[in-house]
Structure 1
Amino acid sequence: MAFIQMNILSQNLMRTVPVNVILPVDKQQMPGMPAREEKPYKTLYLLHGIFGNYMDWVTGTKIMRYAEEHDLAVVMPSGDNSFYVDHPEAMNNYGKFVGKELVEMTRKMFPLSRKREDTFIGGLSMGGAGALLNGLKYHETFGYIVSLSGAFLIEELPHRTNDTVNVLERRDYAESIWGNLDQVAESENSPKYLVRRIKEENAEFPEVYIACGEQDSLRDVNLDMYHFLKENGVNAVYESGAGAHEWDFWDTYIKRAMEWLPTENTGLGRNSGNVGI
């Protein structure tokens, strides 16, 4: 399993961004395993949560093992605390970066499939919300979306005030991300707005996988988003189980999400933990 750490200069962010890439090009077949056909890899663009960075998925889950088992390339960028939305006035266009620029750049660099049905986007918490938002916004690029414990906050934003010491719940902090909180629900920063627009255009929706822990404070908004997607004709799946907003849950459900995605799933290759003896 090749693990590549790199820095790329982003036109949409006007700075250098660290990115991790998992690429199973060096996977050694175990005895009796069929050889993989020589072809581009299906790819999952995987987003971290708030306070995180490009290392989170590697240190918090067994993502490398799961990727090797499924012959899946995984691209993990740093997205700061941006919620992966665009801020054109500050040249911080995180949506354009993950939804367009990063895809185009990594396709030039690595043997990745350019097919929509082979291109996936996912994430957890802030990244789960960002994955759904940009998977819908760039629905011509992404065929599948994975959202774990998505921080779907749009509908409660207009009710925020600055009467709290928790910066993440302050109105001024939210405005620095989404702009006018009274207008965000009817903007491209709202997944529900994008669903309605795609429906009006009679375009094809990506398929969506949502999972959230039974003890997670975001459970209700995740269920609400799932029901909204289903009611509007999106092919969506919802799964839940014991767990809160934490890595044990995300490790379990990114594995389940990969089983849901249309990957090749040819099994683990020979490695230090799987020597075939």
Structure 2
Amino acid sequence: MAYLTCNFFSKSLMRTVNINVVLPTDKENEIKEYKTLYLLHGIYGSQNDWVHGTRIEAWAQDHNLAVVMPSGENKFYVDHPQSNAYFSKFIGEELVSFTRRSFPLSTKREDTFIGGLSMGGYGAMVNGLKYHETFGSIIALSSAFILDLIVRSNDNSSNPLHRRSYYEFIFGNLDEIKGSDKDYIALVNRLENSQIPDIYMACGTEDSLLYRFNVKFHQYLDQKQIPHTFETGPGGHDWTFWDTYIKRALDWLELEEEKGISSGNVNL
């Protein structure tokens, strides 16, 4: 398994960006084009979170899966025209193009996945739907499906990232967010069911803020008769839950399994 950190200039963000990439390159059988998961972190996080918080490296190795982990800062992975920072375009177009040019990745839709947790779960859902011709599957864990809260927000919160002024900086005019390409329900409604990527969602039953919003979106998908998998279980908004359910999500993808040589699999 190779773990790489690299940087490149992003035209979408108008600056140099850092990404982490996991490549399961230690197998005896040559894999020319890897299936790929673009994995997004949550708010307050960075491109390092998934490697530090879960066993994603080991599982990627075991499943011949490449994993690409970019930084979304605290920007919800949406476009910000006013600051010329097009995070959605970066995730859905530029990052995919750059990594496919740079690494031996499959270009097939059915081999290309996007996932994330919390803010990154929101980002995975909206960008997976927006760029549905690129991504064949979406993994959304403990997702911040909080547009209803955002449009009703005010500036009274003690947390500056929960204030209306912050959401306006991120999303623009909040009166226009519903029905836009930042609205997961609107994106679902724009597509035929056959165009929608396969969806896996999970949320902990003790996730006091986000559980009810994930249930609500699951119920909406059911109402629209959109096939998807939604799992719940004991757990809060924490790495213990995400470590468990990113593994369950990889199992849901039904990837091949082949152990490589590593300190965790010596094969004596």
Partner of 2:13: 13
Structure 1, unaligned runs of 5 or more: 29-34
CA distance in 2, matches of 1:158, 1:83: 15
Contact (CA 8 Å) 1:208, 1:234: kept in 2 or not?
A: no
CA distance in 2, matches of 1:223, 1:164: 25
Structure 2, unaligned runs of 5 or more: none
CA distance in 2, matches of 1:59, 1:136: 28
Shift of 1:242: 0.9
State yes or no: 1:222 paired with 2:214: yes
Give TM-score scaled by structure 1 length: 0.93
Contact (CA 8 Å) 1:206, 1:234: kept in 2 or not?
A: no
Change (3 A) 1:204 1:233: farther
CA distance in 2, matches of 1:170, 1:162: 5
Letter in 2 for 1:231: Q
1:41-73 deviations in whole A, cap 9, x for unaligned?
000000000010010000000110010111100
Shift of 1:164: 2.1
SS in 2 for 1:89: helix
Partner of 1:209: 200
Match of 2:52 among 48, 53, 59: 59
CA distance in 2, matches of 1:206, 1:262: 15
CA distance in 1, matches of 2:58, 2:168: 39
State yes or no: 1:271 paired with 2:267: no
Shift of 1:167: 1.0
SS in 1 for 2:195: coil
1:224-254 deviations in whole A, cap 9, x for unaligned?
1112123223221001111100000000000
How big is the alpha-carbon RMSD for the aligned residues of Structure 1 and Structure 2?
1.2
1:8-57 deviations in whole A, cap 9, x for unaligned?
110100001110000011235xxxxxx46x43100000000001001000
CA distance in 2, matches of 1:156, 1:49: 18
Counterpart mapping for 1:178-257 below 5 A: 178-199=171-192, 204-217=195-208, 218-257=210-249
Shift of 1:203: 5.4
Residues paired across the two proteins, number: 267
Contact (CA 8 Å) 1:207, 1:234: kept in 2 or not?
A: no
CA distance in 2, matches of 1:182, 1:226: 24
Contact (CA 8 Å) 1:195, 1:232: kept in 2 or not?
A: no
Letter in 2 for 1:90: S
Letter in 1 for 2:14: M
